[in-house]
Amino acid sequence: MKPSMCSHLKQITRLCQLLLLTLCLAAPVHAFEPFVVQDIRVEGLQRISAGTVFNYLPVKIGQSLDTKGSIEAVRALFKTGFFNDVYLERDGDVLVVFVEERAAISSIEIEGNKDLGTEELLEGLKQIGLAEGRVFDRSLLEKVEQELRRQYFSRGKYAVKINTTVTPLDRNRVGILIDISEGRVARIKQINIIGNHTYSDKELLKEFSLTTPTIFSAFTKSDQYSKQALSADLETLRTYYLDRGYLKFHINSTQVSITPDKQDIYVTINISEGEQYTVSEVTLSGELVVPAEELFPLIRINPGDVFSRKKVTEAVDEISSLLGNQGYAFANVNTSPELDDENFEVALGFFVDPGDRVYVRRINLSGNIGTRDEVLRREMRQLEGGWYSAEQVERSRTRLDRLGYFENVNVETPPVPGTTDQLDVDYSVTERSSGSITAGLGYSQTSGVLFNASVSQENFLGTGKRVSFAFDNSKINTLYRFSYLNPYWTIDGVSRGFGAFYRKTDAAEANLSDYTTDTRGADINFGIPLNEYDTVRFSVGYQGMDLKETVNSPQEVIDFVDQYGDSFDDLVLTGSWSHDSRNKILFTDTGGLQSFSFETTTPGSGLQYYKLNYVQQRFVPLTRDLTLGLKGNLGYGDGFGDFDNLPFFENYYAGGVRSVRGFEDNTLGPRDSEGNPIGGSFLVVFNAEVSFPVPFVESSSGIRLSTFFDVGNVFGDYNTFDTGGLRYSVGLAGLWLSPMGPISVSLGYPLNAKKDDDIQNFQFTVGTFF
């Protein structure tokens, strides 16, 4: 007899046995006479132990077993999922359990997958019970095939083919092979909008994230169809019309068709625009705990204006925010538009339900394992026992984020159970390492090889105090520095710090005139907060300097030494005012910084000069990922007393990665008699930069790319300032906060370089810690 015929006969025999078992179970009187079980024997086991069967079997030795009990026993063993077949027999007073084990999975192999990682797939299979060592269940394998198809369909691969092969192995095991042929991604060939009369297809499709193939779609994948992306685009289309007054706009239907080869997709959207509605009146009603004259200015849609859902939503948010800042944490603001379909007008009503005024019962902190509670609590602007303020809660979160001690800061405001007028504010933080002992090498095109070592603790012993000692060595500088800062010297936030340093500088290595300086100093500094955003700082310090000529020093250096000497001891005063509303210190995406600072020596010092600086920065979020940064920097210095000019070694410099990129560091502006840059007393620099995370990389929190436009120069004096002397450049830049320090890279192209300018298109710095 042929093997296949034998196989069929065996299957028929087994079906008959199962049918007979069912009939027996359905006929309890004839199938099983009650008896007392004196022993239990299990037949048919291969991998599973008899003990496992006994654990699941609801029949024990000494118990009486009847038909009902036998049905329950069979059901219990089937329920384990270990067996293909289970039936019971009686051998005298012995209960015999016959089982046929399901095969175990010996191996799972996945081939042909590119979009979905093998490890990711195996982990997903494991979670649903399909893994090596588990009992094989073909129904699970079928579910896996369906889920894989769904995953590939969501990626636009509609031609995907999935073949699964189950190979029987010895000892009742199987090997599973999942062979995936992903196929090519189906592209959107055409998007048609039918029924639009007011706005053209071009205007509407410009709002879509889905597109037909373009030169950029290979990177953005915007031409790959997905149901989720189409749903988002349909909502965008609906919003587009509602923001322009089309209250009766409706999407009638959407058809998505694919060609037989499953390579091209056609999308057709049928719409009804309806008529455009204008606002006839705006009213406020409900419980107005805030005077209406304070609320109406928040509603920026007026009678006669075209209706806009966006403006209505903004008004609701503004009113809710105002109420939230006055303690009404659970306020509801609802809109009730009444349509006049004859005149195509809408009467817009805002109904205010403030709810109970809420106060904060408790502020809870969690996650600060190494940082003391008081360090976090002194940043709180929301007070326990005070009325809840959404603005102060968020400001407190921002201040915690700005400390730099935490990777993440989250806040929740759960209501207190059993009350309607209390809530808690829960801040959870994830600490980052705020201390470091580092030693490393770096390189910059100006400074050359850098050796640096530092011991620093931004959050010393969890107190919030900052302590550091650093040593840097390069062909330009050798620097030793110690600093200490207590940001809360007083409970009101007055800071106090002090520091000391020694620095040896070879100016010629920095592309400047040929001379060297040895400088040492120490200072004490204070910071006084004027309000939430404004701070005044000042310091008093001693600075001593030895100026040394070289054989190549220009005449300007020689004349200065002849006139003023080469050793100076100075008492230096510095002061600054700053207004800082940035949401983060690094990778800022909103807010700004404005500062004015001065530095001056006192009368009687070896050097007599002053320097003034003004810096203005603004950060404007353009989209969720794009941020526009604008920065202006003005600097001016001069001498007083016996000094007619600012000492040349205190000059400002321009050019390089910190001012005008594309030009070599410090090379712009006036030059000495030897033709080397010597800097000037008046600095003008402006930078415009659009920054964004690395495209197509999901986790790039420590990296930012940008496009920039720089303009600036340094002049001998403000009287010599000439807009024609400004230098311009454009280019691309990147910053990576790497483990060995920040790495900055720029590719700049000067737009109006002169013949004597030193061009350096590619510039980078690696491993500069301080």
The pLDDT of 511-526, averaged and rounded, is 91
Rounded Cα–Cα distance for residues 350 and 283 (Å): 6
Rounded alpha-carbon distances, angstroms, from residue 57 to 32, 34, 72, 353: 17, 17, 9, 62
CB 352 within 8 A of CB 333: yes
Instruction: Please give the pLDDT value at position 766.
Output: 60
Choose among 360, 361, 409: nearest CA to 389: 360
Instruction: Please give the pLDDT value at position 120.
Output: 78
Structure tokens at 756: 């004597």
Model confidence over 91-139: pLDDT tens digits? 888 889 998 888 888 888 888 888 787 887 787 777 777 778 777 777 7
The pLDDT of 247-259, averaged and rounded, is 93
Model confidence over 556-605: pLDDT tens digits? 899 999 999 999 999 999 999 999 999 887 788 889 999 999 999 999 89
Model confidence over 659-717: pLDDT tens digits? 999 998 888 989 988 888 899 999 999 999 999 888 766 666 678 899 999 999 999 99
The pLDDT of 150-162, averaged and rounded, is 81
Choose among 745, 693, 686: nearest CA to 710: 686
Instruction: Please give the pLDDT value at position 27.
Output: 34
Instruction: Please give the pLDDT value at position 739.
Output: 62
Q: 470 falls in which pLDDT band (50, 70, 90)?
A: confident
CB 458 within 8 A of CB 483: no
Model confidence over 171-230: pLDDT tens digits? 788 888 888 888 888 889 999 999 999 999 999 999 998 999 888 777 777 888 888 889
Model confidence over 632-668: pLDDT tens digits? 999 999 999 999 999 999 999 999 888 999 998 888 9
Instruction: Please give the pLDDT value at position 663.
Output: 92
Has residue 25 got a pLDDT over 60? no
DSSP three-state, residue 283 = strand
The phi, psi pair for 51, rounded to 5°, reads: -60, -35
Structure tokens at 79: 């329920």
The one-character DSSP state at 388 is: P
The pLDDT of 35-48, averaged and rounded, is 86
The pLDDT of 507-531, averaged and rounded, is 90
pTM over 0.75: no
- The distance from CA 630 to its chain's CA centroid, rounded to whole angstroms, is 22
% of the chain residues with pLDDT over 90: 44
Q: 15 falls in which pLDDT band (50, 70, 90)?
A: very low
Rounded alpha-carbon distances, angstroms, from residue 503 to 108, 506, 518: 64, 10, 6
Angle at 721 between CA 706 and CA 597, to 5 degrees: 65
Residue with the larger pLDDT of the pair 238 and 583: 238
